Chain A
Amino acid sequence: MLTPLERLRPNEAEVAAKVLDGEAIIINLSNGTYYSMDKVGGLIWEMIELRQSLDETIAAITARYEVSPERAQADVRRLAGELIQENLVIVSDETTSPAERQDEVMGQRLPYEPPMLNIYRDMGDLLALDPPMPSLEDIPWKESSEGPSK
């Protein structure tokens, strides 16, 4: 059971992740599974990368989104459990936050949607199906964008 002061950190040995425009894309390199999380989920991943505690994460969420601390806490705990189960994060032994951060003060908080971990377990299998393509060098269709008459 995670305590409010505990911190998670990405399992960097096995995981590659990037957050852009608030959307996190995560790859478990050991098994080829892809994951994505948007909005609240993306924020949670950013907080994990910053080694923020669960309490600090919940505070950041409630500052930005229209949600009660109790609901945010339940959702963060659920998602943290899923991330641990998927081996994407590990519980950090750091006791203090390495990065002091100021929660964004929003004029108006955004509508809240519970964070979802989207999982794509078949990416590695599908990737293996992709047939090798020949080089384009000899393809006559390149000649003009007029393309086929049919």
Chain B
Amino acid sequence: MRILFWSEGFWPNLGGVEVLCTGLLTALRARGYEFIVVTMHRNFDLPDADQYKGIPVYRFPFMTAFDAKVHQLAEIRQQVSRLKQSFAPNLVHLQMLPYSLSGVFHLLTAKINPSPLLLTLHGALKNLDAGPETLLGQMLRSAAWVTANSEATLAQARQLVPEITHYSRVIYNALPVPTLAPEPLPNDRPRLLCLGRLYYEKGFDLALSALATLVARHPRVEMVIAGDGPARPELERQAAVLGLAERVTFVGWVNPEQVPALMNTVTVVVMPSRQEGFGLVALEAALMARPVVATRVGGLPEVVIHEQTGLLVAPDDSRGITEALMSLLGHPEWATQMGQAARQRAQEVFSWDRCVAAYDALYHTLIAEGAHAHAAGTPAPE
């Protein structure tokens, strides 16, 4: 069975969606599916046609075309149309972030190959318009099935387009348990980790502010900021202004394979996100038995259970982050217990095998029932 897997973010770009998608593709291919990937050029030094572990990858310059270049839009529509004609997918599985405009090219070519659409929502949809004359609204309404990476994301989608309620469900993001075993939390010289794309929504500026207050109580504390992005210069400046330059290390991007080893070197993972669909880093932390301090936004409260696997704080509250970190660093045994509880829960609730099996079952159902699966109200297999 042929699946056209559509994700604007894909290897070698880095992010939660990218890490999840590459894992899913290889796991589902092992279950007999044939994939091609449609993705977006973020950088023109990558080829239009590529391969990821033998899976064909087609990159399109979606974003430059949206810069009101209507000729390029028409040409991309034509190329996507031809790709659909030649591959003749049995299912289109589209990963949608709120800003996934490329979905319009799926809609523009939907008649070319009337295969069902599985839409997976990865991010917060709050405050967006999803009326019948919007891309978001048409994507949600044209899907044969909608999955969301958290209850929070699903609730927002259902609020925007209530009719999807009977053809939507949560499939939690998941990751395989790393082969590397977790090591004890380093408490003598506490290390905090912020991991992710460096942009405003991740709130790493709040973590730096919290660190500045924390040093009075924990003078040996350090922070690692891993990732890169447009906010990096400002964060580096902030660290210097706060007198934290010696304590904060910016290590740039970390290969996903190296994340478990990085987790083993830290005491607490800090996620001060201003918005977050799921928060895959919280899961990466849990799998390495690290407690997390996170904000109560999006899906994070579903990944981090307050006072069981980490501590939750209000968004945009650096003081709250400081207090949470003081609690954890001041009670190392509690922090260790939380990390272990997080690892155990992660293996149960965010089981990789269950996630792969859920998509496998959904693929089977949708392909078998064709484009009108939702019209019959067929429940998706749990």
**Could you list which residues of chain A lie within 8 angstroms of chain B, going by C-beta atoms?**
16-21, 23, 25-27, 29, 34, 36, 38, 118-123, 125-127, 129-136, 138-143, 145-150
With A122-B134, A131-B201, A150-B175 as known contacts, state yes or no: A142 contacts B12, CB within 8 Å. yes
With A23-B74, A130-B63 as known contacts, state yes or no: A122 contacts B135, CB within 8 Å. yes
- Is the Cβ of B23 less than 8 Å from the Cβ of A148? yes
With A123-B66, A140-B253 as known contacts, state yes or no: A133 contacts B81, CB within 8 Å. no
Q: Considering the chains assembled together, what is the distance between the CA atoms of A136 and B12 in angstroms?
A: 8
**Could you list which residues of chain B lie within 8 angstroms of chain A, going by C-beta atoms?**
11-14, 18-19, 22-23, 26, 42-43, 45-46, 50-53, 63, 66, 68, 70-71, 73-75, 77-78, 81, 98-101, 104, 107-108, 111, 128-129, 131, 133-138, 175-176, 178-179, 197-199, 201, 228-230, 232, 252-258, 352
With A29-B68, A34-B104 as known contacts, state yes or no: A148 contacts B99, CB within 8 Å. no
- Is the Cβ of A147 less than 8 Å from the Cβ of B135? no
- Is the Cβ of A126 less than 8 Å from the Cβ of B101? yes
- Is the Cβ of A147 less than 8 Å from the Cβ of B42? no
Residue of B nearest to A119 (CB): B133
- Is the Cβ of B46 less than 8 Å from the Cβ of A150? no
Q: Considering the chains assembled together, what is the distance between the CA atoms of A108 and B75 in angstroms?
A: 29
- Shortest C-beta distance, B370 to chain A (Å), equals 20
- Is the Cβ of A20 less than 8 Å from the Cβ of B136? no
- Is the Cβ of A23 less than 8 Å from the Cβ of B108? yes
Q: Considering the chains assembled together, what is the distance between the CA atoms of A21 and B12 in angstroms?
A: 33
Residues of the A chain whose Cβ atoms lie less than 8 Å from the Cβ of B18:
141
Residues of the A chain whose Cβ atoms lie less than 8 Å from the Cβ of B108:
23, 25, 36
Q: Considering the chains assembled together, what is the distance between the CA atoms of A134 and B19 in angstroms?
A: 17
Q: Considering the chains assembled together, what is the distance between the CA atoms of A51 and B23 in angstroms?
A: 53
- Shortest C-beta distance, A36 to chain B (Å), equals 6
Residues of the A chain whose Cβ atoms lie less than 8 Å from the Cβ of B232:
134
- Is the Cβ of B23 less than 8 Å from the Cβ of A25? no
Residue of B nearest to A141 (CB): B12
Residues of the A chain whose Cβ atoms lie less than 8 Å from the Cβ of B53:
145-147
With A20-B77, A36-B108 as known contacts, state yes or no: A148 contacts B19, CB within 8 Å. yes
Residues of the B chain whose Cβ atoms lie less than 8 Å from the Cβ of A146:
53
* 16 contacts across the A-B interface (CB closer than 8 A): A21-B77, A25-B70, A25-B74, A25-B77, A29-B68, A118-B107, A121-B133, A122-B136, A126-B100, A126-B128, A143-B255, A145-B11, A147-B22, A148-B257, A150-B178, A150-B256
**5 extra interface residue pairs, beta carbon distance < 8 Å, beyond A20-B75, A25-B74:** A20-B78, A122-B129, A136-B42, A136-B46, A147-B11
Q: Considering the chains assembled together, what is the distance between the CA atoms of A121 and B104 in angstroms?
A: 12
- Is the Cβ of B104 less than 8 Å from the Cβ of A129? no
Q: Considering the chains assembled together, what is the distance between the CA atoms of A121 and B176 in angstroms?
A: 40
- Is the Cβ of A18 less than 8 Å from the Cβ of B134? no
Q: Considering the chains assembled together, what is the distance between the CA atoms of A122 and B133 in angstroms?
A: 8
Residues of the A chain whose Cβ atoms lie less than 8 Å from the Cβ of B11:
141, 145, 147
- Is the Cβ of B133 less than 8 Å from the Cβ of A16? no
- Is the Cβ of A123 less than 8 Å from the Cβ of B135? yes
- Shortest C-beta distance, A94 to chain B (Å), equals 24
- Is the Cβ of B176 less than 8 Å from the Cβ of A132? no
